[in-house]
Structure 1
Amino acid sequence: MAEKTTARGGGVWAAADLVTPMAIRVAATLRLADHIIDGTRTTAALAEVLRADQDVLGRLLEHLVAAGVLSSTGAGTYDVTDMGRYLCDGQPEGMRSVLDIEGAIGHAELSLVHLLHTVRTGEPAYPQQYGLGFWDDLSANDARAESFDVLMGARLAVHAPAVAEGYPWGRLRHLIDVGGGDGSMLITILQSHPELQGTVIDLPGPARRAGKAIAAAGLDHRANAVTGSFFDELPAGADGYLLSSILHNWNDAAAAQIMRRCADAASTTGSVFVVDYFNDQNAQTEGDLRMLCYFGGRQHTPEQLSELAGSAGLGIASILPAGRMSIVELRAPR
């Protein structure tokens, strides 16, 4: 009878492995899957195109075969597996861009090696890795800042249809998407609710992209994009202020300030809507540690959100499911 084998350390080693995740991230950064699918399939040809060390690249490719990302079709020749195809540009979930070490999120992920520092001090890990905070780094690097905006827009676009159908937005007259990036979320909501008007408020770069996207969608007759910051006074009078995947990007003090700005603008007649992962436990715990390491943020539970809202004079009116996300409506006492 063959001896039964078990995973090393009962599976702990596989769960803690750094080699395979980094190999896959390097593959994403080098766009290996796209090059192979386009016909550059040998180690020598890939090394030439990528200006990489041929011996080391070959060893990386062999591990990617072992990891199931690539398949070997002969000596030094490779193809992309079904899993590996997710590392191609243009895939719906945009995993290549997310994992790209030279993009905003992939770059930030490397700061997780300083999680011990964060646990011991409560401080974000990003400055330990790079010498300055996440937002300061984006301000100093236009390419990384643009990649962040694009990545956030792509992620919101995936969740937007469920959010658009998850709440009766058509009951509102005017919805302001606060920190709405390239307008992906607002555009989808407007397309599903033809009587609704909308505005994106964000910093100059995202606001310009949102304005172009709104016009391209043929919605500029009932939507616009304006430049502004959610740390400053917001336009009053709308009956909805949307914070979609915003609050978790900031520490408690900053998140409370953002909430107060929205509450002041909504006053007693409007609602503040927070869209985030409130019921996805995996997203909650993983996202919470990421937000903590990147910028000292927090992935809020409904109870934590209620406390944060209470500091701004708001209370939870409803929590509605929207795919993996939830829509929380907050209101002042009426």
Structure 2
Amino acid sequence: MIASVGSMTSNETQPSPWEVLAPIADLVTPMAVRVAATLRLADLMSEGVTEVEELATRTETDADALGRLLRHLTCHGVFTEPAPNRFALNETADLLRSDHPGGMRAAFDLNEFGGRMDLVFTNLLHTVRTGGPAWETVHGAPFWEYLATNPTMAASFDASMAGSTRTAAATAYDWTDVRHVIDVGGGTGALLAEILAANPDIRATLVDLPDTVTRGRERLAERGLGDRCEFAGQSFFDPLPTGGDVYLLSAVLHDWDDDQATKILRGCAQAAGKTGRVVIVESHGTAGDDPGMFAEMNLRMLVLSGGRERTVEDYQALATAAGLTTTDVRTTSTGLVVIDCEPT
């Protein structure tokens, strides 16, 4: 018989061990939220579907199992049960609507990149034991290889990156004297679009893998910016296009270990030549008041791809090793660091 851990109390005045640890150790509730997001239950309830039998029919699930999941979430403040087997949205559940501006439903969807990313942590033990990423042990192939062979998931990854606050870097750098920016590993061009829109005299080149660049071409065309951008579908470990005034690396280096990150920077330095610059945009390891977020992301990058978060000093050391000299460092309002470098 499986006993309820929550019923085990040490005494009547002290919280039980489960009450102390459950808020940080419970896996049932986080997975239940992700299942609810994947099934789009909040969307259905917002359309007036509330009976568990109808919810099960619409989601092609088992009604008894779905009812148990919803009742568990209701007990944890997600959804309400105004009548037996009838469920409804509350303020917390409303965050799981697909049209909510917070975008949490897609982030939790187990069929999208965010959900697949979270599942990798079921084998965190592998990473702690070996020091290597766990993505392959869960999904069958290393992170970047997995994305390269799964176009649907790659598109989901691109979409999640396009929503990043790193687009704030578009206004955190002085583009006055820049005529040609080359966005290296620029995804679908979300940041590049903001730069081009704000600086009508700048031309650009978007560098990323072929499928991603194709989506970037479509994005920039939709913004009316496609005629000011060239597209290079390639690995950024291959020789980069030359002739750029600025080689931009936004949220790229943290995906890689020090050796690979240095190689990427060295490639940018070589392409920049004597007159170009290399601009790094990453999370600031020592900025802001949330060291917990930095610690989480540092662990997350290792588990996913073997990368790491870094301090400004760490990035400057990488730049030096790649033949670059740091000339300016500034921080955005969203806690990003923008590091301006020139070839030595």
Calculate the TM-score normalised by the size of structure 2: 0.89
Q: How much does 1:324 deviate?
A: 2.9
> Is 1:73–2:82 an aligned residue pair?
yes
Aligned to 1:311: 321
Structure 1 residue 168, shift from structure 2 partner: 1.5
For residues 262-313 of structure 1, what are the alpha-carbon distances to aligned partners after superposition, in whole Å with 9 as ceiling and x for unaligned? 1111123222112121135333211111111111111122122122111111
2:206 corresponds to 1:196: no
SS in 1 for 2:88: strand
What's the CA shift string for 1:183-238, capped at 9, x where partnerless?
11110122122222222111111111111221211123422333122111111121
Cα distance per residue 1:85-110 (max 9 Å; x no partner): 22222333422222111222311221
1:13 matched to 2:22? yes
Q: How does 1:61-100 map to 2 (within 5 A)?
A: 61-100=70-109
Match status 1:290 vs 2:296:
no
Of 254, 261, 278, the residue aligned with 1:255 is 261
Quote the offset at 1:10 in angstroms: 7.2
1:145-156 paired onto structure 2 within 5 Å: 145-155=154-164
Q: Hey, what's the Cα distance between the residues in 1 that align with 2:205 and 2:102?
A: 26
Q: Distance in 2 between matches of 1:99 and 1:254?
A: 30
Aligned to 1:327: 338
Matched, 1:187 2:193: yes
Q: Which residue of 1 aligns with 2:132?
A: 123
1:267 equivalent to 2:278? Answer: no
Range with bigger deviation, 90-99 or 143-152: 90-99
Aligned length: 328
CA RMSD of aligned residues (A): 2.0
Change (3 A) 1:248 1:171: same
| Secondary structure in structure 1 of the residue aligned to 2:95 | helix
Secondary structure, counterpart of 2:163 in structure 1: helix
Letter in 1 for 2:264: I
Q: Deviations over 1:134-165 (max 9, x none)?
A: 2222223222122111221222xx441x2222
Mapped to 2, the partners of 1:166 and 1:20 lie a distance apart of: 40
Q: Which has the larger radius of gyration?
A: 2
Give the structure-1-normalised TM-score.
0.91
Contact 2:166-2:251 within 8 A present in 1 as well: no
Residue 302 (structure 1) aligned with residue 323 (structure 2): no
AA aligned to 1:327 is: V
| Unpaired segments ≥5 residues, structure 2 | 1-11
2:80–2:87 contact (8 Å) kept in structure 1 = yes
- Asked whether the equivalents of residues 8 and 14 of structure 1 are also in contact (C-alpha less than 8 Å), the reply is no
> Does structure 1 retain, via aligned residues, the 8 Å contact 2:255–2:308?
yes
* Partner of residue 61 from structure 2, selected from 49, 52, 59: 52
CA contact (8 A) 1:179 1:201 kept: yes
In 1, Cα distance between equivalents of 2:268 and 2:47: 48
CA distance in 2, matches of 1:90, 1:142: 24
Q: Indicate the SS of the match to 1:27.
A: helix
3-state DSSP class of the match of 1:88? coil
**Partners in 1 of 2:96 and 2:38 — Cα distance?**
9
Map of 2:50 onto structure 1: 41
Tell me the distance in 2 between the aligned counterparts of 1:90 and 1:178.
32
Q: Give the AA of the match of 1:225.
A: F
Alpha carbons 1:94, 1:154 under 8 Å: kept: no
C-alpha change, 1:92 and 1:193, in structure 2 (3 Å) is farther
Asked whether the 8 Å contact 2:251–2:281 carries over to 1, the reply is yes
Please tell me the residue identity of whatever aligns with 1:303.
E
